Amino acid sequence: MTVMKRYVRKNILALEPYSTARDEFKGGDISVWLDANESPYDNGVNRYPDPHQRKLKERVSELKGVDQGSIFIGGAGSDEAIDLTFRIFCEPRVDNVIAITPSYGVYKVAAAVNDIEIREVQLNDDFSLPVDRLLAAADSHTKLMWICSPNNPTGNAFAVADLERLARSFDGMLVVDEAYVDFSTAGSMLPLLPELPNLIVLQTFSKAWGMASLRVGMAFASPEVAGLFARVKYPYNLNGPTQAEVLRRLDEDISGKVAELRHEAVGLSRSLSEAGCVVRVYPTDANFLLAEVTDADRVYDYLISNGVIVRNRTKMPGCRNCLRFTVGTPEENRRVIELINEFK
Ligand SMILES: *Cc1c(COP(=O)(O)O)cnc(C)c1O
């Protein structure tokens, strides 16, 4: 048994995956398709899509510099990859996972859905990564460690070297959620994938790529682990029109938009920090800013009454009186700055 298989649930290792009609078809020149009980009337969507998403994976492989065999693509965004990770590795009511807090809320929900204990380890006061406390929280039933970098809602990215140390020291799977990596200068964990067999990297097309509505997220891992995702996923988890639409949109060059948002983030941060009701704005490696204000609930309601919605994070650990501002267009950012300056 390879090292990684030690971490996998026994039922998943034993699983005989569902074999689709399209799986069993192995080439040949077919013109009459009578194998899948589809409607024969061509309306553009009458045939099942490619369950292996080959064309899309080929493009993602090119884009990310990762072998196709190391890619999982989900049709319910990264959230699908998060849920599958729990289901592959964690035995309900037996295993546990570690996650940083404050962080993305879906890890906790997915843990609860799967009946897995989650051990939350609070970031240091400056939101830096408490590597030793994270490692100390693990026991022999800890299968996963969830780290979001750049982290939502704090905005900071963690050093690749620290994440690498975690991966090398942790006896379980390290999951690094890089939803905002396209905005960050801290770098990705993807180049370390061949060296770190216990690493899973999550990315998404929902943020910098502007395809949130399409719901396409990815997991990257060793071929062995990516193979487990392929076995456990629903066979047709990414519908045909979405596969085609993402493929088409991946030809867009997003670097101009990313550069504009990064530039806007700097300006928004500076203007917010000068406003009377803003105590401080935390540095960001993402397309949002966490700002501590004098009274988060009041500023939040005031912005809403003026037609602007931000995220109130005041109840999250270490985030008292903090609001999270997504960086918008230059006009949107001007509007929010104007409102914040007028707050009484
Ligand atoms: C937005 C976000 C995602 C993306 O989720 P999708 O389901 O792919 O849209 C993942 N992780 C974090 C931390 C996020 O903030």
Of residues 221, 129, 242, the one with CA closest to residue 175: 221
Ordered per-residue pLDDT tens for the chain, 344 residues:
566 789 999 999 999 888 888 777 777 888 899 999 999 999 999 999 999 999 999 999 999 999 999 999 999 999 999 999 999 999 999 999 999 999 999 999 999 999 999 999 999 999 999 999 999 999 999 999 999 999 999 999 999 999 999 999 999 999 999 999 999 999 999 999 999 999 999 999 999 999 999 999 999 999 999 999 999 999 999 999 999 999 999 999 999 999 999 999 999 999 999 999 999 999 999 999 999 999 999 999 999 999 999 999 999 999 999 999 999 999 999 999 999 999 99
Query: Is 55 in contact with 73 (CB distance < 8 Å)?
Result: no
Span from the CA of 180 to the centroid of ligand 1 (angstroms):
8
> CA gyration radius for the chain?
22
Q: Whose CA is nearest to atom 1 of ligand 1?
A: 179
Of residues 260, 278, 279, the one with CA closest to residue 332: 260
Query: Is 70 in contact with 221 (CB distance < 8 Å)?
Result: yes
What is the distance between the alpha carbons of residues 201 and 232, in angstroms, rounded to a whole number?
A: 18
Span from the CA of 208 to the centroid of ligand 1 (angstroms):
11
* DSSP letters spanning 96-126: EEEEEES--THHHHHHHHTT-EEEEEEPPTT
Q: Whose CA is nearest to atom 7 of ligand 1?
A: 77
Closest approach atom of ligand 1 to CA 76: 7
Query: Which tokens sit at 106?
Result: 């879906």
Q: C-alpha distances in angstroms, 203 versus 10, 43, 86?
A: 27, 33, 17
Span from the CA of 106 to the centroid of ligand 1 (angstroms):
9
**For ligand 1, is residue 77 a contact (CB within 6 Å)?**
yes
Query: Which tokens sit at 230?
Result: 């392929």
Closest approach atom of ligand 1 to CA 216: 8
